[in-house]
Structure 1
Amino acid sequence: MIKKYKLKNGEIRYEFQVYLGTDEATGKQMRTTRRGFKTKKEAELALARIKLQVASGEFRKERAETFKEVYELWLLQYENTVEQSTFVKTVSLFNNHILPGIGEYKIEKITVDICQKAVNDWAKRLKNISKVKAYASRVFNFAVKRDFVQKNPFDLVELPRKRNKQLPDETDEKNFYTREQLIEFLSCLEKETNVKAYVLFRLLAFSGMRKGEALALTWRDINFKTKEIRVNKALSRGKDNKLYIKSTKTNEARTIKMDEKTMNVLRMWKKKQKEDYLKLGFNTAKLSQLVFSNEKNEFVQPTKTREWMLYVQEKYNLKKVTTHGLRHTHCSLLFEAGATLKEVQDRLGHSDIKTTMNIYTHVTKKAQEQAIQKFSSYVNL
């Protein structure tokens, strides 16, 4: 059947799919798709030609022609090299941005100018344009290796300079709490009935863990005797929007030393969890039990933490930071307390110390004031 479809610019094209028989090696049905015909007549002639070739045994399925077809071949290989969560994000990036831009072009006909125009268009609505370009380029590198094309046109594409970039507002609040703000936040949270939220947020603020790492913790990971927590996995979202456990972001486990009070809070929560969940029909005494679970004793939806935070922040008129902001808070206060870059890097689980320096070189106003006071005292003018 010949179908009509519309291009992004509104032009009409025609396509069809042909049954080619059964693959002797796999026993699976084989089909091929042809598209891009400007008129129905062109599509009908091409369809008739292929039917004759199939009937006479002369048809040979052509290799991937369009960027989208090459992408689909590349995707089969790529899926085996990354985590589910990364794979899902990559597919979304291609479906929402890259394929609508260049997916229908024949791979051999894509020039540097076409790629440059696509990158310029993506840059108008996307922040991390270098990442988008890199993924599109990977498909072309795959095409070069498969001998579909001779070279990668994205190698010659230049990233557009971001224009009209607004200067940061000096009154803009950063996504972390000062020591005093953190104390106030946790104090207000402790007054509420959501004990689970209080324990989780205190743990995040005093450990610097990523949210996904905390939501993946089991009681086996917590050693009350040595006051240590073993971080070796993380909760993430994979295919079909399902939550699953994966390795940490750096694929490395780390052990975090904790303070006495936070360990006591966790000990209190373990006891309360046992009592509360027993009423719901769940035995939480096993070491494999999640430290934080929902009412069905399953994974807590990561978006739930934002809801818990906003409730307390709005009720008590507190500064609004995100859940990840508690990780920033931990880092900032570590620096303020005199911790070295290496110590912070190890505790937060950064594989590269540049990440620690680039993301967490901000300091609190108190530290900034101390810096200028030291300068003033030293210069003594």
Structure 2
Amino acid sequence: MTETKRAEYGGGSITEKKTLPDGKTLYRWRVYAVQPNGEGRRKAGSTKGTKRDAIREMANMRNEIERGGLPVNDDSATLTDLLEQWFSVKAGTVSARTMQIEREVSKLHILPRLGKIKVRAITAAVLQDFHTALATETTLQRSRKQIHVVLNQALNFACVRGYIITNPAKNVIVPQVISVQKAALEATDDTRAYTNEEATKLYAACMLDATPHAWAIALALQTGLRRGEVYGLAWANFSRTRPEEPLRVAIRQAITEHSGVAVVGPLKTKRSRRTLTLNRQACEVVEAARAWQEAQGGEWPFLFSERPDTMPRPGNSYRKLHVLQDRAEIRRLDMHSLRHTFASLAFEVGVPIEKLSQLLGHQSINVTQTVYVHLYQQAADSPSLRLRPVAVPDLDAVARRPIPPRANQYA
């Protein structure tokens, strides 16, 4: 009797053809999978034995197609081979900047120490010694977490590909990573954010400079946008229902630079996709950029391009930022500190942490609490109930009042 099962085997089917004279059953199967180059491929075969044997051969063939022909039981594959395969598969699912960071972390720290080790020889003990060595022999902090993420994902990929049965990275205790930002705050009591007075000076210097990079810096200060989000703003992202209403801007893309080439890519997280209502000074920045571009003539798809029909260059913002900081006679902080400044000043005017998390486009409110915990700890130390002002009696008169007689509880 012929029986066909499809969905149960994920991208394939098994058909029971006939029972052989020796009592075994002949199964015919077909499988479909996607190769590393993105092209789909179908393969068919037959198995003499049990249905479990047929399912096993289907899985082996699917794995072989997905890895581009590499045998499932390849004992010679090293961690270098594995990472190269993993990066080729992952490349189409994350931003180019993320791939650049992970490849650099791998090249600088993982491959020199572990690259020649065969995947099947990697154990939890090997990884534990590796992380311990990083903690004791290097000054790496944030990168250690990225290294663990890359290894964990690559070894999960190895499980799927059939190199190993379990992921040894799941049994590794990663030494605690000290937040560089937190350590700096504790050592210097510096929030890495400008005060209201410093921010005012910087904004004024930006508007007087009247150049695309200066306007980009001013808008970052007024909105808390990430640098890539600011430079990714296109005129198509702006809208206004009525002339008297403030501008609204939809954050939908980011521009980053890789090896000197500007690239339009996705936002950092899903919650980074948001729509903001611009305040009056932010609207002034946008209108100044619009007037300048109209005077120059030509097509300007992006808000902060330096020339018509070209993409903005975020990497050039640091040089302009330092010039403006010196001109305003304020501290030299980096571009990301403008985001911290926005958060600090927004907190000072009473913006709740839930709303602040939405404005900043954080993945969750926990991120906001972690990054800006110093602000909320300061508020908790001396909370203000903001009660309505009342008349306070003269303290000397209060002090001269006699102690009232004790009430007679039996009266």
TM-score > 0.5 by shorter chain: yes
Whole-angstrom CA distance in 1 between matches of 2:212 and 2:328:
19
Q: CA deviation at 1:74?
A: 2.3
1:183-332 alignment to 2 at 5 Å? 183-192=200-209, 194-224=210-240, 225=243, 226=245, 227-237=247-257, 242-252=261-271, 253-276=273-296, 278=297, 282-284=298-300, 289-295=301-307, 297-332=309-344
Partner SS, residue 363 of structure 1:
helix
Q: Which amino acid aligns with 2:263?
A: Y
Give structure 2 stretches of 5+ with no counterpart: 1-36, 38-70, 388-411
Shift in alpha-carbon separation, 1:119–1:360, aligned structure 2, 3 A: same
CA–CA distance in 2 between the matches of 1:264 and 1:368?
Answer: 33
Whole-angstrom distance in 1 between the partners of 2:148 and 2:126: 13
The match for 1:152 among 149, 167, 180 is: 167
Q: Give the corresponding residue for 1:117.
A: 129
Distance in 2 (CA, whole Å) between partners of 1:195 and 1:146 is 52
Which of these two proteins has the greater Rg computed from alpha carbons?
2
Q: Give the AA of the match of 2:268.
A: K
Q: Counterpart amino acid of 1:87?
A: M
Alpha-carbon distance in 2 for matches of 1:299, 1:92: 25
* Contact kept in structure 1, 2:207 and 2:214, CA below 8 Å: yes
Instruction: Quote the sequence identity (%).
Output: 22
How many residue pairs get aligned? The number is 306
Q: SS where residue 229 of structure 1 aligns?
A: strand
Would you identify which runs of 4 or more consecutive aligned residues in structure 1 move more than 6 Å? Answer: none
Task: Determine helix, strand or coil for the equivalent of 2:374.
Answer: coil
Partner deviation per Cα, 1:91-122 (whole Å, 9 max, x = no partner): 22111111111110122223333222221233
Change in Cα spacing, 1:315 to 1:199, as seen in structure 2 (3 Å) is: closer
In 1, Cα distance between equivalents of 2:81 and 2:188: 49
Runs of 5+ unmatched residues, structure 1: 1-25, 27-59
Cα distance change of structure 1 residues 146 and 188 upon mapping to structure 2, 3 Å threshold: closer
State whether structure 2 residue 340 is matched by structure 1 residue 340.
no
> Which of structures 1 and 2 has the larger relative contact order (alpha carbons within 8 angstroms, sep 6+)?
1
TM-score between both structures, scaled by the size of structure 1: 0.71
1:84–1:237 contact (8 Å) kept in structure 2: no
The whole-number CA distance in structure 1 between the counterparts of 2:257 and 2:214 is 24
**Secondary structure in structure 2 of the residue aligned to 1:176:** coil
> How far apart are the structure 2 equivalents of 1:266 and 1:295?
17
Q: Which residue of 1 aligns with 2:16?
A: none
Does structure 1 retain, via aligned residues, the 8 Å contact 2:222–2:281?
no
| 3-state DSSP of counterpart to 1:80 | coil
The match for 1:104 among 116, 119, 122 is 116
RMSD: 3.2
Equivalence for 1:176: 193
CA distance in 1 between partners of 2:171 and 2:380 (Å):
48
